[in-house]
Amino acid sequence: MMNLQAKPVITVFEHSPDEGKGMARDMRVRWALEEVGQRYDVRPVSFASMKEAAHRSHQPFGQIPTYEDGDLILFESGAIVLHIANHHTGLLPQDADARARATSWVFAALSTIEPPIVEREVVEYCEREESWFEQRMSSVDDRLRNRLKDLSHRLGEADWLDGAFSVGDLMTIDVLRRLAGSGLLEEFANLLTYVARGEARPAFKRAFNAQLACFNAASTDCNQSPIANHKESMK
């Protein structure tokens, strides 16, 4: 039966280069949508079509994800996740000051923690054959360790960064997940537990399974969010 209620549509990689590990930036948007219980549709885009004018009219830099809800078109995972958090309950506290503080963590994840992680991936994938590979990797890892050390120190023994779970934790955890396999996260026991705590959330699991199904299935099969299926199954 067709659902006539409008749902937001997000774009994702048609064939994610991570092969279903959920490392692409649609994962954080799927997770946010699942946390707030908002159904969504998915439109897979190929690497070729991402760079064409139609997609660029939604995403000027030819990337994923985008978010479309009626006439509204957003890009940048940070802006999308913050928009979802602002328009639903579940990802931001009620208190105005606490809401603003959660936003600080969204920006910290994207502006302070993620850039050296992306840089590490550039070294790993593009500079492996260069004579300077070892030296560069060690220098990027040192910069990254400083960030992780500061984050670990701030988190301490707490479950989440600032009181209850918020969009700040969602973004920080999703950014840290990109370090899987680097061995760096293992140097900070509380960060490892922190990431596992996020990944144990039912909404995370639904989002993860949805992106995995999307990778495994033909693209037409991933056009339904698990929460939608979940809700349909309860009817």
**Nearest distance from residue 147's CB to its own copies, in Å?**
7
> Considering beta carbons, is residue 4 or 53 the nearer one to its own copies?
53
Q: Report how far residue 106's alpha carbon sits from residue 113's, in angstroms, rounded to the nearest whole number.
A: 10
User: Which helix (DSSP H) or strand (DSSP E) does residue 226 occupy?
Assistant: helix 226-234
> Considering beta carbons, is residue 150 or 221 the nearer one to its own copies?
150
**Nearest distance from residue 91's CB to its own copies, in Å?**
15
Nearest to residue 173, comparing CAs of 152, 150, 190, 198?
198
Give alpha helix (H) positions in 127-221.
133-155, 167-177, 189-199, 202-216
**Nearest distance from residue 150's CB to its own copies, in Å?**
5
Type of residue at 153: H
**Nearest distance from residue 171's CB to its own copies, in Å?**
11
> Considering beta carbons, is residue 47 or 107 the nearer one to its own copies?
107
The DSSP bridge pattern shows strands 66-69 and 72-75 to be: antiparallel
> Considering beta carbons, is residue 89 or 104 the nearer one to its own copies?
104
**Nearest distance from residue 205's CB to its own copies, in Å?**
26
Q: What DSSP line would sit under 81-135, residue for residue?
A: HHHHHHHSSSSS-SSHHHHHHHHHHHHIIIIIIHHHHHHHHHHHHHSTTSTTHHH
Footprint on this chain of its own copies (rule: CB under 8 A): 56, 60-63, 71-80, 82-83, 97, 100-101, 103-104, 106-108, 110-112, 114-115, 118-119, 126, 130-132, 135-136, 139, 147, 150-151, 153-154
Nearest to residue 67, comparing CAs of 57, 53, 77?
77
**Nearest distance from residue 127's CB to its own copies, in Å?**
8
> Considering beta carbons, is residue 131 or 233 the nearer one to its own copies?
131
Type of residue at 129: E
> Considering beta carbons, is residue 20 or 115 the nearer one to its own copies?
115
Q: Report how far residue 75's alpha carbon sits from residue 120's, in angstroms, rounded to the nearest whole number.
A: 24
